[in-house]
Structure 1
Amino acid sequence: MTDSEVDYRAVFKALAAPLLVLTPDFTMVAANDSYLKVTKRSPADLYGRCFFTVFPPNPNAPNDPGEEGPEGLRASLERVLATGQRETMALQRYDIEVSGRPGVFEERYWSTINTPVLGPDGEVQLIVHRTEEVTGFLLQLRRFGERGVSGRRAELEAMRTDVYVRARELQDLNERLTRADREQRQTTSALQEVIERQRRFVFDASHDLRNPITGLLTELEVAISEPDVGLHQILRKLLLDAVRLNDIVADLLELARLDTATPTEPVDLADLVLDELERRPLTTTVLVRLDQQVVVRASRIRLVRLLNNLLANAERHTRTAIDIIVTADPPDAVLEVIDDGPGIRPADRERVFERLCRLDDAYLLDPGGSGLGLPIARDIAHGYGGDLYAADNTTGARFVLRLPLAA
């Protein structure tokens, strides 16, 4: 007989172990003869119905929430759905309502294994609920003790209790091991992700550093080999490369500092903007609309870094002018930097805050950029309980900084 000729339905039906098949919403769709016999139910009683409707909790059972009866079984089934892994339950008390006698329950004990059936996409499609009844063993111990065997009743009762307690301890240990394994896998995955990000960061940062260094070396070689070349022109190119190196190193240092605490002070955002515009040489027109007394608590040095990163980004992309707006929108202080350049597509508004991510137009406008300015600015905002995001705008890019207003 070949595999194609095996009647698996007949095999399932004849298996000695009681088996029940459930869908992910715990609807019963199949049961073999052993399961029907041990639960004293017919297929019509089970199929198409929720397990916990057909087998409700016994209101008179000992109160042990979360570990016994329906709650314990439901928790196990939900873990199987969440993990896609088989779970063996310890000894459980789950009383069964007598068929045809609503509200009348029989004391029953079970040893259960719940096994997932996975689909092609890896998702759980069915759960095979295999359960062995051990009620007779435990009740026999109890009856044996109740028959009055001299000197043995207390010992047998203690044995019955110990079997049950040990089973509960094994169940608890199994759950703890399952949680520990899940946490370990999550930690390992997170560490691997961090290592990979660090590797990419070092590679990309090294690449960005090589560009200005190569430029410096080239200009120096030209100056040495061609003494007739204008010294002023060479020095100007060397200065630009040195400025680019300084910017990249400053970005790297700021990334290193982001995880360290710095003293905070009240900072008036309007004053901060005016001070930086006076100090910073700009290559385009800047228009300001600044409300007074918009004060936040932060490190002034880091807010200066944040503002300069936004201004540098706006200068690269704007066509005619940059707008800077400071307003109060309780409970937040709001600073906006707006350019009239090509703008950012909605799909890219989060990508621009990824470290070392540079869109195509950014490469064209500034091939030597590091791709760290906007991510650093957002990290600074988050460090003071705020946020930085790219918002809708009719023309150009609009970056919005929100920080909690100082009390």
Structure 2
Amino acid sequence: MGNSKIDYGAVFRDGPSPTVLLDRDFIVAAANDACLRVSGKRPEEMIGKSVFDIFPSDPVDPKAEDSTLRDSLERVLETGEQGVVALQRQSEEVPDRPGVFKERYWSQVAAPVFGPDHRVEFIIHQAEEVTGFLQRLHRARHLAEAGDLAELEAMEQRIYARSRELQRFNDRLQQAHEQQRRISLSLQEAVERQRRFVSDVSHDLRNPLTGLQLRLEEALSDPQVDPNEVLHSVLRDAQRLNDLVCDLLELTSLDAHKAIPAEPVDLGGLVSEELRRHAFKHWALSCPDSGVVVSASRVRLTRLLANLLTNADRHASREIRVTVKAEPPDAVLEVVDDGPGVPPEERELVFERFHRSEEARRRDPGGTGLGLPISREIAESHGGTLTLADNPSGGARFVLRLPLAGDRQAGSGPPT
């Protein structure tokens, strides 16, 4: 007995319950003898056909059960778990009596068959007919005493109602399972993002702290070291630490969705102020339209613009161009440099926290890698977008879009 080999193909063919093997598209790959007998079909009429074409919806009430089986099969594919289709009614036209139907009732089970990659490869769908049971119950109703008739009728109705209730409960259970799975995946992603964030912060904080420690130890151990040189070096590391802490505080505020009072801000005026406030290494050209106003936090928009201008100045070869215009319903601000630009496949990476390209590290070893991510989050917190767009003349082209404030949204351009 222990050495005998089971012929699973024969077990499938000779099974007493109608059973079909479906592929992932619900096409019949095999049908056992019981299924062929019950359906009255030949193998060639079933193999390679959709199960929904072979066993169509109830012609008397097509909407009542139309999606029940499909939903069950799709859940088996998604979850890899067995699915139960409770009592299902099927009306069949009586041969030689057009328009006359008889009812049959089925209880069905769908189970997954996994492939070598642990992915659901096939589904075994098995049906048990319970029409005879319900018919016997119906006959017993007529034989029962008058006093028991109502009770038997109620019992028949309860059986069918409870089966449908079981199906609805199964559907809700599957939906809850899917929702729980999505929540679990979201939590896992959040934990992983937090882990990477803590790791990156620790690394970026360690570098200036290590520099501070080394310079101070060197100054204490060597009396010949120039104190001014040490102080300047320590000051640079302290400034880098301050920049990093300020960026982290800003990110914390943005992540917490802390509201900052909004006010009307003229984008063109803000650009002029920033260009006057900072001394840039490269020539900055400004072409802002007047009266392009958005409702926003002036402090945060100033931070966003300063980040874009600093980034452009870092990578430019000769000049920076800044434009502001109204494209209702948006205000559009562009910051363009004539540097090497960013390859299309890396344009989203620059908005990831702590991401710094080799070019950026070479041009500014002290950068935090947080300026552009902060800028995008500020834009999105105001209902806008910040993207890296194509630039036919080369260089990077950052495009900020924010909703226009007030009645400017209905206009078609700057006021004359």
- Tell me the TM-score normalised to structure 2 length: 0.89
CA contact (8 A) 1:113 1:129 kept: yes
Tell me which residue corresponds to 2:108. Answer: 112
Moved more, 43-52 or 391-400: 43-52
1:342 counterpart SS class: coil
Corresponding residue SS for 2:279:
coil
Query: 1:90-239 residue pairs with structure 2 within 5 A?
Result: 90-98=86-94, 104-239=100-235
Deviation of the 1:27 alpha carbon: 2.6
2:227 and 2:194 map into 1 onto residues whose CA distance is 41
Residue 277 of structure 1 aligns to a residue whose secondary structure is: helix
Q: Tell me the distance in 1 between the aligned counterparts of 2:282 and 2:223.
A: 36
Cα distance in 1 for partners of 2:21, 2:216 equals 78
Rounded Cα–Cα distance in structure 1 between residues aligned with 2:141 and 2:157:
12
Report matched runs for 1:294-309 at 5 Å: 294-309=292-307
Name the aligned partner's letter for residue 37 of structure 1: R
Q: Residue 82 and residue 94 in structure 1: after superposition, are their counterparts in 2 closer, same or farther (change >3 A)?
A: farther
Conservation of the 8 A alpha-carbon contact between 2:105 and 2:130:
yes
Unaligned runs of 5+ in 1: none
User: In the alignment, which residue of structure 2 is the partner of 1:399?
Assistant: 398
Q: What's the secondary structure of 1:69's corresponding residue? A: coil
TM-superposed CA distance for 1:255, in Å, is 0.7
- 2:205 counterpart letter in structure 1: L
**Aligned residue in 1 for 2:37:** 37
* Distance (whole Å) between structure 2 residues aligned to residue 330 and residue 2 of structure 1: 80
Q: Which runs of 5+ in 2 are unaligned?
A: 407-416
2:342, 2:226 → 1: CA distance?
41
CA contact (8 A) 2:58 2:89 kept: no
Once the two structures are TM-superposed, the CA of residue 52 in structure 1 deviates from its matched residue by: 2.4
- Alpha-carbon separation, structure 2, partners of 1:156 and 1:78: 37
For residues 232-254 of structure 1, give each alpha carbon's deviation from its aligned partner in whole angstroms, at most 9, with x where no partner exists: 43333333222211211111011
Q: Alignment partner of 2:146: what SS?
A: coil
The percent identity for this pair of structures is: 53
* C-alpha displacement of 1:97: 4.5
- In structure 2, what is the equivalent of residue 252 of structure 1? 248
What secondary structure does 1:89 align onto? strand
Residue 4 of structure 1 deviates from its aligned partner by: 11
1:102–1:271: structure 2 CA closer, same or farther, 3 Å change rule?
farther
Q: Does 1:89 align with 2:81?
A: no
Offset of residue 143 of structure 1: 1.9
Contact kept, 8 Å, 1:87 with 1:115, in 2: the verdict is: yes
Q: 1:3 to 1:117 in 2, by over 3 A?
A: farther
1:376-398 per-position Cα deviation (integer Å, ceiling 9, x unaligned)? 11111111111111111232211
Count of paired positions: 403
Give the corresponding residue for 2:279.
281
Between 368-377 and 112-121, the greater mean CA deviation after superposition: 112-121
Contact preservation (8 Å) 1:285, 1:320:
yes
Rate the CA distance shift 1:370–1:94 in 2: closer, same or farther, 3 A: farther
Q: CA deviation at 1:277?
A: 1.7
CA contact (8 A) 2:21 2:124 kept: yes
Q: Is the 8 A contact 1:270 1:292 kept in 2?
A: yes
SS at match of 1:111: strand
Which residue number corresponds to residue 28 of structure 1?
28
Q: Are residues 1:367 and 2:385 paired?
A: no
> 1:58–1:97: 8 Å Cα contact kept in structure 2?
no
Pairwise CA distance, 1:123: 4.3
Aligned in 2, Cα 1:243/1:54: closer, same or farther, shift over 3 Å?
Answer: same
Change (3 A) 1:35 1:208: same
1:165-212 Cα shifts (integer Å, max 9, x gaps):
222222222222222222222212221221221122112112111222
Q: Is the 8 A contact 1:23 1:127 kept in 2?
A: yes
Task: Give 3-state SS (helix, strand or coil) of 1:95's partner.
Answer: strand
Q: After superposing the two structures, state which structure 1 stretch, 152-161 or 42-51, moved more.
A: 42-51
Return 3-12 or 316-325, whichever deviates more. 3-12
Secondary structure of 1:90's counterpart equals strand
Task: Using the TM superposition, give the Cα deviation of residue 301 of structure 1 relative to its aligned residue in structure 2, in angstroms.
Answer: 0.8
Other structure's SS at 2:86 match: coil
